[in-house]
């Protein structure tokens, strides 16, 4: 399997640190608003990378954080007159709903920066002790020049960077030793959230958060570190400087970055105001369409958002889902029984589509070509499965289609309809549990029903239910 490593600027063969395992960290969003569809791109892309590794039998430890302490969160909290915590909790919950709609698997762990401050303080301390950091008036800075390999990810030269920052040095307004030094810890300002530290009350800089959370949940060395391409510099460059100086080891073997989602060929961003939130899009389209649209391009190519492309994605997705529906229908009506010799041969030919799919994914996750392979399979299923087919043949085609689309995170399986009798049965069981004062079990049954879209209402006349 080959993937493009931003560090070496070429496609490299993937060799895991530990056989059969992938340790992967994806920088998550700063939660001060609904996520926009640009933020959705890394979520969908790297979830698909994860799914492909899992399809190949790897055990993937996937960590993706929420940055829940930040100037923008504090600003929003002040505007609304609520706490920063309330803002971040609200938008984490909303973000998780959007992710579910886009069928992004929950991370193995999604740490919150504010719950990991102790570890960050220790990491900054270690850097101070090793001479890679220094404190001035309650602020701790990273001594960039001391890290000889600084710039290796973004392929920037220290001297070029320095001349770009000369104005700062000349003005002398900065207390830093060098214009390139960046903040690891900043002192508290009035009305801002703050934590205790050896340098006084304050809060961590953004870059140290990821170095710490990655180390805590994945260890000092990981396989893949990922995010949008705007994170290469300075965020990931600084993470490398921090982690490698503190741990004395290569931080991540592979660095993956997605290109931007653009609108009118300009980067979609909150600051430019030219964005759509995932929530807005969900009012017009099923979020599966958004996912399918994102996967129609290679993740390292810029992608321009437009209604035409979304409609094309909608049509394409419909073709796949309709084929799956047909197969399900045929399965019900087909002759019970095994495949004929002819069908066995016909099914063997589907190996070609699987090979095409895998070849595309193994070439730096070329999802556009992988989608083309799925369309080939759909065409083949539409032309070879019919009312005369055996149940086994139809079943096998369906399973194959569901397996490949699942790697892309596209759902073709029908949600199981719950029957009224089943609902009544569960309600009776819940009543029995309550009678025995086993309220935990009763609550479990209520939750189970809710998951199936059934809401219970306890009334004087007994339990009533309705579809949510
Ligand atoms: P942020 O909340 O700004 O830190 O962004 C969260 C993630 O979304 C990061 O990986 C960014 O690189 C990524 N991102 C932000 N805007 C876009 C965009 N327009 N296209 C693709 N990725 C983006
Ligand atoms: Zn990060």
Distance of CA 127 from the midpoint of ligand 1 (Å): 28
Give nearest CA residue, ligand 1 atom 17.
Answer: 38
Average pLDDT over residues 141-165: 90
Q: Give the per-residue pLDDT at 420.
A: 79
Task: Note the pLDDT of residue 165.
Answer: 64
Q: What is the DSSP string of 27-41?
A: ---B-SSPPBHHHHH
Q: How many A from CA of 207 to the centre of ligand 2? A: 6
Taking the CA of 258 as reference, the closest ligand is 1
Q: Does the pLDDT at position 135 exceed 50?
A: yes
Q: Kindly provide the residue ranges of all beta strands, DSSP E only, lying in 196-338, ordered along the sequence.
A: 202-204, 222-228, 252-258, 261-263, 266-267, 303-305
For ligand 1, atom 8, the nearest C-alpha belongs to: 39
Q: For 324-346, what is the mean pLDDT?
A: 93
Any atom of ligand 1 within 6 Å of the Cβ of 270:
no
Smallest CA separation from ligand 1 atom 5, residue: 29
For residue range 66-112, list pLDDT tens digits in order: 999 999 999 999 999 999 999 999 999 999 999 999 999 999 999 99
Which ligand is closest in space to the CA of residue 269? 1
- The average confidence (pLDDT) of the chain is 94
Specify the range with the lowest mean pLDDT, choosing from 95-104, 240-249, 295-304, 425-434: 425-434
Average pLDDT over residues 7-29: 98
* Residue identifier of the C-alpha nearest atom 9 of ligand 1: 228
pLDDT of residue 1: 97
State whether the beta carbon of 204 lies less than 6 angstroms from ligand 1.
no
Ligand 1 neighbour 228 (Cβ under 6 A)? yes
Ranking 156-160, 171-175, 318-322, 416-420 by mean pLDDT, the lowest is 171-175
Secondary structure letter of residue 415 according to DSSP: P
Residues sharing a CB contact under 8 Å with residue 406, sequence separation 6 or more, in sequence order: 51, 55
The ligand 1 atom nearest the CA atom of 275: 19
Average pLDDT score over residue span 365-380: 98
**CB 297 within 8 Å of CB 291:** no
Tell which atom from ligand 1 comes closest to the C-alpha of 227. 10
Pseudo-torsion of CA 258, 264, 269, 275, nearest 10°?
-110
Is the CB–ligand 1 distance for residue 39 below 6 Å? yes
DSSP result, 197-213 = -TT-SEEE-HHHHHHHH
* Fold annotation for 2-258: Rossmann fold (3.40.50)
Give the atom of ligand 1 at the shortest distance from the alpha carbon of 262: 19
Instruction: Please give the pLDDT value at position 462.
Output: 85
Strand ranges for 259-342 from DSSP E: 261-263, 266-267, 303-305
Which is it for the CA torsion 409, 411, 413, 416, positive or negative?
Answer: positive
pLDDT surpassing 90 at residue 289: yes
Please list, in sequence order, all residues whose beta carbon lies within 8 angstroms of the beta carbon of residue 133, skipping any fewer than 6 positions away: 124, 127, 140, 141, 142, 143, 184
Distance (Å, whole) CA 195 – CA 141: 17
In angstroms, what is the span from residue 228 Cα to ligand 1's centroid?
5
CA 432 – CA 114 distance, rounded (Å):
43
Among 137-146, 347-356, 391-400, 440-449, where is mean pLDDT lowest?
440-449
- Region of poorest pLDDT, from 5-19, 105-119, 221-235, 449-463: 449-463
Within 10 A of 272 (CB to CB), how many other CB atoms are there?
Answer: 10
Contact 446, 88 (CB under 8 A): no
Instruction: Provide the pLDDT confidence category of residue 160 given band limits of 50, 70 and 90.
Output: confident
Domain 307-407 sits in CATH at 1.20.120.640
Between 463 and 322, where is the model more confident?
322
Residue 418 confidence (pLDDT) above 80? no
Q: Whose CA is nearest to atom 11 of ligand 1?
A: 228
Nearest ligand, measured from the Cα of 252: 2
Whether residue 164 has pLDDT greater than 80:
no
Rounded mean pLDDT of 156-180? 73
Please tell me the predicted confidence (pLDDT) of residue 171: 47
pLDDT value, residue 172: 47
Whether 61 is in the pocket of ligand 1, judged by its Cβ within 6 Å, is: no
Given a cut of 80, is residue 16 above it in pLDDT? yes
Pocket probe mutation, ligand 1, options 88, 102, 110, 230, max atoms within 8 Å of Cβ: 230
- Mean pLDDT of the region 297-309: 97
Query: Is the distance from the beta carbon of residue 88 to the nearest atom of ligand 1 less than 6 Å?
Result: no
């Amino acid at each position: 399997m080959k993937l493009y490593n931003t560090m070496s600027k070429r496609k490299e063969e993937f060799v895991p640190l530990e056989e059969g395992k992938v340790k992967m960290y994806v920088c998550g969003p700063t939660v001060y608003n609904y996520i926009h569809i640009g933020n959705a791109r890394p979520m969908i892309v790297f979830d698909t990378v994860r799914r492909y590794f899992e399809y190949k039998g790897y055990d993937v430890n996937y960590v993706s954080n929420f940055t829940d302490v930040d100037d923008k969160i504090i600003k929003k909290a002040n505007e609304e007159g609520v706490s920063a915590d309330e803002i971040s909790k609200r938008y984490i919950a909303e973000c998780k709903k959007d992710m579910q709609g886009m069928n992004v698997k929950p991370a193995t762990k999604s740490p919150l920066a504010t719950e990991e401050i102790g570890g960050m303080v220790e990491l900054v301390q270690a850097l101070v002790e090793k001479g890679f950091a220094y404190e001035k008036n309650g602020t701790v800075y990273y001594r960039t020049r001391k890290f000889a390999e600084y710039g290796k990810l973004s392929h920037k030269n220290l001297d070029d960077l320095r001349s770009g920052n000369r104005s700062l040095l000349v003005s002398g307004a900065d207390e830093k030793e060098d214009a390139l030094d960046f903040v690891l810890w900043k002192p508290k300002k009035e009305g801002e959230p703050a934590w205790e530290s050896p340098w006084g009350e304050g809060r961590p800089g953004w870059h140290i958060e990821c170095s710490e959370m990655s180390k805590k949940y994945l260890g000092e060395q990981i396989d893949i570190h990922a995010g949008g391409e705007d994170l290469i510099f300075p965020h990931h460059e600084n993470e490398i400087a921090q982690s490698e100086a503190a741990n004395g080891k290569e931080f991540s073997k592979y660095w993956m970055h997605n290109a931007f989602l653009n609108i009118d060929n300009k980067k979609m961003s909150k600051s430019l105001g030219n964005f759509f939130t995932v929530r807005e899009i969900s009012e017009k389209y099923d979020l599966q369409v958004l996912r399918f649209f994102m996967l129609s391009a290679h993740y390292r190519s810029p992608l321009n958002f437009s209604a035409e492309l979304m409609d094309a994605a909608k049509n394409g997705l419909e073709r796949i889902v309709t084929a799956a529906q047909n197969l399900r229908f045929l399965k019900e009506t087909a002759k019970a029984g095994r495949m004929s010799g002819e069908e066995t041969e016909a099914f063997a030919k589907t190996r070609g589509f699987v090979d095409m799919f895998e070849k595309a994914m193994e070439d730096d996750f070329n999802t556009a070509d992988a989608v083309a392979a799925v369309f080939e399979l759909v065409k083949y299923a539409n032309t070879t499965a019919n009312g005369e087919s055996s149940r086994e043949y139809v079943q096998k085609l369906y399973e194959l289609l569901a397996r490949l689309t699942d790697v892309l995170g596209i759902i073709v399986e029908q949600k199981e309809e719950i029957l009224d009798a089943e609902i009544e049965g569960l309600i009776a069981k819940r009543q029995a549990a309550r009678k025995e004062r086993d309220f935990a079990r009763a609550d479990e049954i209520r939750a189970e029903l809710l998951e199936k879209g059934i809401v219970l209402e306890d009334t004087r006349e007994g339990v009533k239910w309705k579809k949510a």
